[in-house]
């Protein structure tokens, strides 16, 4: 198991891993099973420029658009149940292929149709994000979320960002009442 981080405890991914290039970002969670309405949590990646907005509308990777325009970010696809052990959804990132315009990759977990279904992060447990070096299959870092709130329907889980020629990871763990549409607006994705 990799280094276990606390909220806001930033760490360099590449400082001591000079050849780090292909990584897997795994996210997992458990949901309440007694509501009668199944949960569908989804992972999204917003690829942001220096202004903290996407560098273009197609620089948003999610279940309906599985690959970034530069091919550096590839989503595993939608896991509609979240059942079972291990990662529920994964994102592969090739750091050397990330467009130089992209300064930050923001990893978000949303609950599909949360308001209509009466779902929120107060009914989610054991959520985490982890980063694995695919060349060695070694987990580098892990962040276990500890705060779950009933007024939260989306969670900004973590960020991978450029800093002084390094790639760093910031475990964010900030919840929001914004749904996917609200997050798209926040990060500058024009939605039709």
Q: Dump the DSSP string for 137-152.
A: TEEEEEEE-----TT-
Domain assignment present for 192: no
Domain assignment present for 87: yes
Distance CA 82, CA 84 (A): 7
Mean pLDDT on 49-70: 95
Domain assignment present for 128: yes
Question: Percentage of the chain with pLDDT > 70?
Answer: 93
Q: How many CA atoms lie within 13 A of 102 on its CB side?
A: 30
Residue 129: which domain range?
3-187
Domain assignment present for 76: yes
The domain tally of the chain equals 1
Domain assignment present for 99: yes
Domain assignment present for 123: yes
Domain assignment present for 94: yes
- What is the rounded radius of gyration, in angstroms, for the C-alpha atoms of the chain? 16
Under 8 Å between Cβ of 76 and 67: no
Mean pLDDT of all residues in the chain?
Answer: 89
Domain assignment present for 68: yes
Q: Is the dihedral of CA 107, 1, 145, 35 positive or negative?
A: positive
Distance CA 90, CA 88 (A): 7
Mean pLDDT on 23-27: 95
**Of 120 and 65, more confident:** 65
Q: What is the CATH number of the domain that holds 37?
A: 2.60.60.30
* DSSP state for residue 67 in the 8-state scheme: B
- Give residue-wise pLDDT tens across range 78-130: 654 445 567 889 999 999 999 999 999 999 999 888 888 888 888 888 889 99
């Amino acid at each position: 198991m990799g280094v276990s981080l606390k909220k806001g405890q930033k760490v360099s991914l590449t400082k001591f891993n000079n050849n780090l290039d292909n990584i897997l970002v795994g996210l997992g969670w458990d949901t309440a099973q007694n509501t009668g309405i199944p949960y569908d949590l989804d992972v999204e990646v917003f690829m942001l420029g220096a202004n903290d907005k996407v560098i273009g509308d197609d620089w948003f990777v999610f279940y309906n658009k599985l690959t970034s325009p530069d091919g550096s970010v590839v989503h595993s696809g939608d896991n509609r149940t979240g059942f079972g052990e291990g990662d529920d959804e994964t994102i592969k990132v090739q750091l050397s292929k990330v467009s130089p315009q992209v300064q930050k990759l923001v990893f978000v977990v949303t609950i599909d149709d949360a308001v209509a279904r009466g779902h929120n992060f107060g009914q989610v447990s054991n959520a985490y994000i982890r980063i694995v070096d695919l060349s060695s299959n070694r987990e580098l870092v892990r962040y276990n979320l500890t705060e779950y709130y009933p007024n939260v329907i989306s969670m900004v889980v973590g960020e991978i960002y450029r800093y002084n020629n390094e790639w760093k990871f910031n475990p964010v763990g900030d919840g929001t009442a914004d749904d996917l549409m609200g997050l798209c607006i926040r990060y500058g994705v024009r939605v039709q």
